């Protein structure tokens, strides 16, 4: 008995090492058992009421950071999407709401490696704020229990360039007007202030994210109260189109 126990514990230890090495030991990373999965490949479970309740603003941010790291490394979690559709049909418990640009190169679920029911995703050119986006964030946090609001702009943003160039085009004109205050927030020493100056454009993008974060606080008493009570977090960041990396801001 002693020998077989030792054999078992040795084998179990080996399996554990393999699983830890493959990254499928955490609660959200069970091992994939589907045909075609290599041994120890991580498989993502869907968010549940209890897994959402167990998250904090800090752990929600850590998950977005980890997801982007997986995306950049080319090691996304394996997801059985039809199974995730079935598992989430009765309800949703996303842990974050992400506001990002319409840009086709910045799909939030993909670049943050999230699955069905994991995040609320609001996308609009220039990741600008309006009362509909604010209302959506209030729904996501106050009604649906999301723990984090992330505002993520991106490098070389066409909407930011449009605002810099004062583009006038149908309804786009009023959208770009929402970005204009970010131009003034960039120090006058940054020259030239044209869309050809990528450094200027990216500084306007960052200023735009920070202004949107400030506006979320100012224009939504509901979200402000939740932020003050640390029930939710608010973070800004920038997605780099050339590397796939999201740099989240410290403050």
Interface residues toward Zn ion, by CB under 5 A: 101, 103, 157, 159
How distant is the alpha carbon of residue 91 from its chain centre?
Answer: 20
Q: For Zn ion, give the closer residue by CB, 159 or 213.
A: 159
Q: For Zn ion, give the closer residue by CB, 116 or 201.
A: 201
Tell me the two tokens of residue 4.
């077989």
Q: Which residue, 28, 24, 41, 23, is CA-closest to 78?
A: 41
Cα–Cα distance, 42 to 77 (Å, whole number):
6
Least distance (Å) between residue 160 CB and Zn ion: 7
Cα angle 121, 56, 25 (rounded to 5 degrees) comes to 90
Q: What number of other Cβ atoms are within 10 A of residue 59's Cβ?
A: 14
Least distance (Å) between residue 192 CB and Zn ion: 21
Q: For Zn ion, give the closer residue by CB, 15 or 199.
A: 199
Least distance (Å) between residue 155 CB and Zn ion: 9
Tell me the two tokens of residue 134.
């604010």
- Whose tokens are 């800090």? That residue is 58
Least distance (Å) between residue 69 CB and Zn ion: 22
Q: For Zn ion, give the closer residue by CB, 166 or 218.
A: 166
């Amino acid at each position: 008995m002693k020998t077989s126990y030792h054999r078992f514990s040795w084998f179990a230890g080996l399996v554990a090492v393999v699983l830890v090495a493959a990254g499928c030991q955490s609660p959200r990373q069970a091992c994939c058992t589907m045909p075609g999965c290599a041994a120890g490949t991580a498989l993502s479970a869907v968010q549940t009421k209890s897994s959402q309740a167990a998250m904090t603003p800090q752990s929600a941010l850590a998950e977005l950071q980890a997801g982007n790291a997986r995306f950049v490394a080319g090691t996304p979690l394996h997801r059985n999407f039809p199974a995730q559709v079935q598992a989430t049909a009765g309800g949703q418990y996303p842990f974050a709401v992400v506001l990002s640009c319409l840009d086709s190169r910045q799909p939030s679920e993909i670049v943050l490696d999230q699955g069905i029911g994991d995040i609320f995703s609001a996308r609009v050119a220039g990741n600008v704020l309006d009362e509909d986006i604010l209302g959506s964030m209030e729904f996501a946090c106050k009604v649906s229990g999301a723990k984090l609001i992330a505002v993520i702009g991106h490098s070389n943003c066409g909407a930011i360039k449009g605002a810099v160039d004062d583009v006038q085009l149908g309804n786009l004109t009023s959208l770009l007007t929402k970005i204009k205050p970010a131009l003034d927030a960039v120090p006058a020493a940054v020259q030239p202030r044209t869309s050809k100056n990528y450094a200027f454009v990216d500084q306007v993008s960052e200023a735009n994210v920070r202004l949107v974060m400030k506006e979320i606080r100012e224009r939504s008493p509901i979200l402000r109260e939740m932020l003050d009570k640390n029930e939710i977090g608010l973070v800004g960041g920038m997605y780099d189109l050339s590397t796939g990396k999201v740099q989240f801001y410290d403050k």
